[in-house]
Amino acid sequence: MQNSFTNPEPRPDPDAQIFAISVAAELAGMHAQTLRNYDRLGLVTPHRTTGGGRRYSPRDVALLREVQRLSQDEGVNLAGIKRIIELTNQVEALQRRVGELSEEIEESHSPVPRRDLVHIPRSTALVVWKRRSQ
């Protein structure tokens, strides 16, 4: 008997561009024309096929649902929603950068010496001598 914790089901890639506009519209509970309008306004930008067709990812569908929630439940207009999405993306990018910097800090405290850093023991004093002008 396999435990679901030891052999989890593979999760679909949230960025996989797999849904045609009609399917994405149905999944998001919207009309396909609404998705076209959101694309034109820059709220949700799907991937384009070589023929120009729109392909939506599971992440895009989740974003469409959030746009609908903000609009209908919270009364936010589309310009406000666009700004919320931009700020959310900016926060996520900053959080990723903080994570990267945290990893760099952790690596710099590693007991394994790094070739790009020079270790100066704390007991060593550094004296700067400057000749006096006469």
More reliable by pLDDT, 115 or 108: 108
Q: Give the DSSP letter string of 61-113.
A: HHHHHHHHHHHHTS---HHHHHHHHHHHHHHHHHHHHHHHHHHHHHHHT-SSP
Calculate mean pLDDT across residues 112-117.
64
pLDDT tens-digit map of 80-107: 999 999 999 999 999 999 999 999 888 8
Contact between 55 and 48 under an 8 Å Cβ cutoff? The reply is: yes
| Helix 32-41 vs helix 21-28: crossing angle, to nearest 10 | 100
Confidence at residue 7, expressed as pLDDT on a 0 to 100 scale: 57
φ/ψ region of 29 (left if φ > 0, alpha if ψ in -120 to 50, else beta) reads left
Calculate mean pLDDT across residues 38-67.
94
Query: Can you list the domains of the chain with their CATH numbers?
Result: 19-108 (1.10.1660.10)
Lowest mean pLDDT among 54-63, 90-99, 106-115, 116-125: 116-125
